[in-house]
Structure 1
Amino acid sequence: MMLMGDRIKKRRKELGLTQPALGKAVGVSRAAVSLWEKNENEPKGINLQNIARVLRCSADWLIDGRSEKFVSEAPANYNAGTPSAIPIFSKKNVLAYLQGDDVETVSASTELSVIAKMLGASDNCIAFQEDSIGMMPRIMPGELVVIDPSVSDILGGEWAFSVSGTVVVGILSRTPRGFVLSFYSENPGWEPVEVAPSDAVGKVVATIPFG
């Protein structure tokens, strides 16, 4: 008899997601996903709802296996068909790519595309690999940052901006003087900086372990 963990694992594999990717999208560790799938623990509350949202299935089906499996509602731009791969760039090449230059990709991933679509992002997402410790502890070196450059409403939240010729990620807020980007780094040298909307690289969709 299939238990909740078996259904989570089955649906995750149907979507081609890894445990680390599902964990990142839900907001938990890979170890937590592993415990769920081995039926050694059960997700509850917000974690259960987030799993159902990311896996595009009903929470009731995850719980009992008898309820309707699929939810009827989906993001307006969600397409259940085979997604195209999201290109992955080195951090130094992101700006050049967005400016129209012909630059090489590190890789491409349909898995990232599935996650982006589940989270309601557009088909224009790209990703870059963080290469420094500057965004720790929120983003670790080597992780992939998925951004949606097509989002035009800069209303706050987590964004990637071009600052002094490089891409940085932070929390955007609006002050009487304009927009300010605050960073996660515990390094005291990383003070909030004023940014202009024209320097926005894209809205952050997700951060995912690479490899």
Structure 2
Amino acid sequence: MKNLSSKLKNKRIALGLSQRELAKKIGVTGTSISQWEREENIPKGVSLFKLANVLNVSVEWLSNGEFETNPSPEHGVLVSYYPDVKASGGGGSFVDNEIAETLYIPKQAINTSSKKNIKCIHVSGDSMEPSIMGGAIIAIDTEATDIIDGHIYVFHQQGHLRVKELRNGIKQVHIISKNPTYIDEHTSYEDLKIIGKVKWVSNFL
């Protein structure tokens, strides 16, 4: 099994990219690429996802998998990714107002959902930890807008984009954080606009 540094270097060379060129494409320094290839450091979070996309491989393969000649089609599905959108703070609709990039995520992440309905964004804050860590990337199914008790959703509330567990009440929605330091909230159904259900959470932070 090849480690990340070997796979990174082999794929970079195969694509004809210098360390500096690769660094520019993913928004890091050439020193970072050099350190990754020498196993002095490892890419994490957004950098790991951007690296996998530039190299045209899946994050899972780059991090853990066997060395393969063409891993991405078998292991990932390409979906819309909004790198500047963060749930739990900030307003605006990422569907209407933001520019999308693309991102490979595991095929099993979307199950029976159509990939055209899957949108990936970031999570900020610690209110959903340890289920969703701050800085994680989440995949949302924008067709799944009916609230199922105990599932996690992204929604607009009073101009803010939030990610929380939701539960149905008699006339109210219960908004639940996974972090026990945050208290539960309650609001009317009219106060929320459901963007979609969280289908997948990145584990590469």
Normalising by the residue count of structure 2, what TM-score does the alignment of the two structures yield?
A: 0.53
- 138-147 or 194-203, which deviates more: 194-203
Q: Tell me, yes or no, if structure 1 residue 162 matches structure 2 residue 156.
A: yes
Q: Which residue in the other structure is 2:140 paired with?
A: 147
Letter in 1 for 2:203: P
RMSD: 3.4
Moved runs in structure 1, 4+ residues, more than 4 A?
none
CA distance in 2: counterparts of 1:126 and 1:150, whole angstroms: 11
Cα 1:164–1:93 shift into 2, 3 Å: closer
Which structure dedicates a bigger proportion of its chain to strand?
A: 2
Aligned equivalent of 2:60, options 11, 15, 18: 18
CA distance in 2: counterparts of 1:95 and 1:174, whole angstroms: 25
Do the aligned partners of 2:90 and 2:160 also contact (CA within 8 Å) in 1?
no
CA distance in 2: counterparts of 1:192 and 1:147, whole angstroms: 22
Gaps of 5+ in 2: 1-56, 66-73
Gaps of 5+ in 1: 1-14, 22-33, 38-79
Aligned positions of 1:118-129 closer than 5 A: 119-123=111-115, 124-129=117-122
Aligned equivalent of 1:104, options 99, 104, 108: 99
Letter in 2 for 1:125: I
Aligned equivalent of 2:177, options 164, 183, 187: 183
Q: Secondary structure at the match of 1:18?
A: helix
Do the aligned partners of 1:86 and 1:108 also contact (CA within 8 Å) in 2?
yes
Letter in 2 for 1:18: E
CA distance in 1: counterparts of 2:60 and 2:148, whole angstroms: 32
Kindly provide the CA deviation profile for residues 106-145 of structure 1, in whole angstroms up to 9, marking residues without a partner as x.
x521225x2433x222221101111222222221111111
Kindly provide the CA deviation profile for residues 133-175 of structure 1, in whole angstroms up to 9, marking residues without a partner as x.
2222221111111111112433332212223322222222111
Normalising by the residue count of structure 1, what TM-score does the alignment of the two structures yield?
A: 0.52
Do the aligned partners of 1:142 and 1:209 also contact (CA within 8 Å) in 2?
no
CA distance in 2: counterparts of 1:163 and 1:20, whole angstroms: 37
Q: Tell me, yes or no, if structure 1 residue 132 matches structure 2 residue 125.
A: yes
Cα 1:161–1:81 shift into 2, 3 Å: same
Q: Which residue in the other structure is 1:172 paired with?
A: 166
Do the aligned partners of 2:90 and 2:161 also contact (CA within 8 Å) in 1?
no
Do the aligned partners of 1:130 and 1:142 also contact (CA within 8 Å) in 2?
yes
